[in-house]
Amino acid sequence: MTPTTLVTGGAGFLGSHLCDRLLKDGQEVLCVDNFYTGRKDNIRHLLAHPRFELIRHDVWLPLYVEVDRIFNLACPASPIHYQNDPIATTKTSVLGAINMLGLAKRRKARILQASTSEVYGDPQRHPQPESYWGHVNTIGPRACYDEGKRCAETLCFDYYRQAKVDIRVIRIFNTYGPRMHPNDGRVVSNFIMQALKGEPITLYGDGQQTRSFCYVDDLIEGMVRMMNQDTEIGPMNLGNPEEFTIRELAETVLRLTGSKSELVFRPLPQDDPMQRQPDITKAKAVLDWTPKVALEDGLKETITYFRKVVSQ
C-alpha cells in the first residue's frame, strides 16, 4: 500500500521541494498550506498529479486526516515575515506542533519537526553542536520564531516521552535555492534580487558576520534520510558547515550576476547572530549525509530562477 505523507507548509520554499521528492519516491502527498508565505506557483506543476492533494488550512487549527507520516514545516521562516505578525508566528509554531503531534499520536504516524538553527540564538559556542542549549533573547523581536521553535522541540520530546509518539527533530541552517520568496528578506534572495535590479546591495553591520549556506537539494536529502532511519530521533543539525562572511556572499553574487550594484552598509538588527555554522558530525555518522553542492554552483541555479522572476 502506498504511504500517505502530510507536508505542512507544503507550498513554501522547502515544502514544495519536499513534495517533489516524496512524489518522485512514489508516495501519496497531502500538502497543507495557508498561503501566508507559501505560493501556489511553487506547486502549480503538481496540482494535476494523481498522488498529490492540496488543502488550504492553518495548522494552529486541528486537522483530521488519515496519513502515515508527517513533515511539519509550517511556519514563516524569514525575519520580515515572522516579525510581521509575531503572535501568528508563535501560534503556528506552538499550536501547530500540538495539532500535528496530536494527529501523529492518533494515527501512530512518524512525525518530523522542522526546527531551526535559530534555537541557538546568537551562539556563544562555535560551531554549534546539538548539545548546545543556545543563547536566545526571550523577549526580543526575533523571539516569536526562536522561542516558538524551541517550544515546538519541547513538545515533540514530551509527546515522545509521555505518549510514545515516533518523532524526528531536525535543526535547519540557512538554506537557499529556487522558489525562495523574492521578498522574504533573507540574505541570499535579497542580494540576488538587488543585484539583478541594479539596486545597492544592503549589508548590515560591517558584513563580517558569518553564515553557512546549504543548497535546497542537499537539505531535502538530509530530511528524507532523517525521516527514513529508525535509530535517531534528534535533534539533528542539517546544514552546510562551510562558513562565509556576508560580504563574501555579496561579492560572489555580484560576480555571478555581472551586476554593477554598490555595497551599502546599515546598522545591525537587534539580536542578529554574528556567527552561524552547524556541527554536522551526527548527521554524517547517523545519516551518512553531507552537503554536496558548492555555494557557487547553488547560487548559479538560484540566480537563474530569480532572473525569470525579475523578467515576469
Give the residue ranges of DSSP H helices in 58-175: 79-84, 86-107, 143-163
* Residue that the C-alpha cell 508565505 belongs to: 37
Distance CA 33, CA 31 (A): 7
- In DSSP notation, 198-260 reads TPPEEEETTS--EEE-EEHHHHHHHHHHHHH-SS----EEES---EEEHHHHHHHHHHHHT--
105, 62 Cβ separation under 8 angstroms: no
Distance, in Å, from the CA atom of 273 to the CA atom of 234, rounded to the nearest integer, reads 23
Choosing from 36, 145, 160, 176, the catalytic residue is 145
Cα–Cα distance for residue pair 52/244, rounded to 1 Å? 38
Do 55 and 8 touch, CB atoms closer than 8 A? no
Question: Where does residue 9 fall: left (phi above 0), alpha (psi -120 to 50 degrees), or beta otherwise?
Answer: left
To the query of whether residue 204 is one of the catalytic residues in this protein, the response is: no
Task: Name the residue among 304, 311, 308, 196 with its Cα closest to residue 258.
Answer: 196
For 97, other C-beta atoms within 10 Å of its C-beta total 27
CB atoms within 10 A of CB 255: 12
Distance of alpha carbon 207 from alpha carbon 264, whole angstroms? 10
C-alpha cell at position 185: 528578506
Please, are residues 176 and 306 in contact by the beta-carbon 8 Å criterion?
Answer: no
DSSP 8-state secondary structure symbol assigned to residue 117: G
Enzyme catalytic residues? 145
